[in-house]
Amino acid sequence: MINDYMFTSESVTEGHPDKLCDQISDAVVDHFLSLDPNSMVRCESAVSGAIIFIAARFASTITADFSLLTRKVIKRIGYDQPDFNAENCSILTAPRALAIDENHRFDERSLTDAQIDKIPSRNQVTVFGFAVDESPVLMPLPIYLANRLTQKLAEARKTALLPYLMPDSKVQVGVAYKDKVPCRIHSITLEVHTRHPNKPGTQSLKQDFMETIVQPVFKNLKVRPDEKTMVNTNPNGPYLAGPSHHSGLTGRKIAVDTYGEYARHSGKALSGKDPLRVDRTGAYAARYAAKNIVAAGLAKTCEVMVSYATGIALPVSLIVNTFGSGVKSDQELTEIVRDRFEFRPAGILKAFQLRHLPARHPDGFFQRLSAYGHFGREDLGLPWEMTDMADQL
């Protein structure tokens, strides 16, 4: 691999149509798990114009008012325009209640190791966890910055610091690397939907963006924009966004959810699934292992690959790759990760308490992950973002 290069990553705010759908799907997951932690839930959402379609399959002791859940998400995000709002949008639902499978209905908190071994993966998937020492939360710097900037945009909108902002915005950050180390900010591109297409003007928008968003985000970081950094605001003119202009679908922003394409991901959607699905929770477990390897100083960069086969509890493959940055061989680190970390489906549930977290967060747990990334979050106290294994390693 070349040593000097520029890498870009994109993030979007929670009003982006794809992210709206992710949040609706995870609001459904939160609802079922908060009232029945043993629920099996799969939920896909789509939006176009003022029409939202929800397809949900579930096996649970409860049911859901899908329209009500959807309208709450739309209202929370802040869509209140005549062409799209929580009160007037049309919601089509296709719910399907499935027979309850008693094999799903266990309390993982009291399972023995032998019992965990008997609960297999229900699907086949290869997941990836990644960590690198480029940012405070051990995430690739481009996606870390892009997510922080979009979070700051949302905050400025909700607090009326920038009252002209609409819920849908996009940010792309380009980071220049020298000898594989971030050395400067190459570019920042902002596309924001404003209440009036030509207000504020491009220069005023750029000034507001730099003063209100960029400067606070970069304040305590070593790598910052300089006089050569290209900053573009709505470079193609007024940005027309939101469901009125673009359709959305659950699981279509996987790079934003994971590592900004800087590292591999499974290609599977993370949202809209209960935690017994290893394509979701296996990715969390793999990130936990990779982050602790880097936090322990055993590598500067770490990827953990975990492959599952249907009907088997233990992963059929587990590989650690440190890209030559490890203080031990990748083979040694693979054995350490296999011995020290939990990757069995029920074991992950027990370690992270995933099916019980929605009940502890009345405002929603999984739906809060559905915008600004499932990894590298400093604001949610996520169990897979802890580095409590670093000292042991």
Dihedral over Cα of 353, 356, 361, 367: its sign: positive
Q: Is the peptide bond before 37 cis (omega within 30 degrees of 0)?
A: no
Q: How far apart are CA 370 and CA 21, in angstroms?
A: 9
pLDDT average, residue stretch 336-347: 98
In a domain, 356, yes or no: yes
Least confident of 4-18, 136-150, 187-201, 248-262: 187-201
Tokens found for residue 141: 């710097």
Helix (H, G, I), strand (E, B) or coil at 146: helix
Q: What is the CATH number of the domain that holds 291?
A: 3.30.300.10
Shared domain check, 371 and 332: yes
3-state secondary structure 52-79: EEEEEEEECCCCCCHHHHHHHHHHHHCC
Shared domain check, 128 and 256: yes
Tokens found for residue 273: 């699934």
Shared domain check, 164 and 120: no
Is 155 a residue whose pLDDT tops 90? yes
Q: What is the DSSP letter of 210?
A: I
pLDDT average, residue stretch 52-78: 97
Shared domain check, 371 and 257: yes
Q: How far apart are CA 382 and CA 99, in angstroms?
A: 32
Burial class (CB in 10 A: 0-12, 13-18, 19+), 345: buried
Q: Quote the pLDDT of residue 237.
A: 85
Shared domain check, 156 and 128: no
Cβ count within 10 A of residue 23: 29
Burial class (CB in 10 A: 0-12, 13-18, 19+), 329: exposed
In a domain, 203, yes or no: yes
Shared domain check, 256 and 130: yes
pLDDT average, residue stretch 49-74: 97
In a domain, 311, yes or no: yes
In a domain, 302, yes or no: yes
In a domain, 188, yes or no: yes
Q: Which amino acid is at 349?
A: L
Tokens found for residue 149: 């900037």
Helix (H, G, I), strand (E, B) or coil at 128: strand
Shared domain check, 374 and 323: yes
Query: In degrees to the nearest 10, what's the CA dihedral of 135, 139, 143, 148?
Result: -60
Q: Quote the pLDDT of residue 240.
A: 87
In a domain, 86, yes or no: no
Classify strands 40-48 and 51-59 as parallel, antiparallel or unpaired: antiparallel
pLDDT average, residue stretch 324-347: 97
Shared domain check, 307 and 236: no
> Structural domain of residue 187, as residue ranges?
5-10+141-243
* 11-39 pLDDT tens trace: 999 999 999 999 999 999 999 999 999 99
Helix (H, G, I), strand (E, B) or coil at 347: helix
Q: Quote the pLDDT of residue 202.
A: 84
Shared domain check, 213 and 309: no
In a domain, 72, yes or no: no
Q: How far apart are CA 317 and CA 62, in angstroms?
A: 37
CA 24 to each of CA 127, 308, 367: distance values in angstroms, whole numbers, following the listed order: 24, 28, 7
Q: Rounded to the nearest 5 degrees, what angle is found at the Cα of 341, between the Cα atoms of 337 and 344? A: 115
Element holding 97 (H helix, E strand) = strand 90-97
Give me the number of domains the chain comprises: 2
Backbone phi, psi, residue 330, to 5°: -60, -30
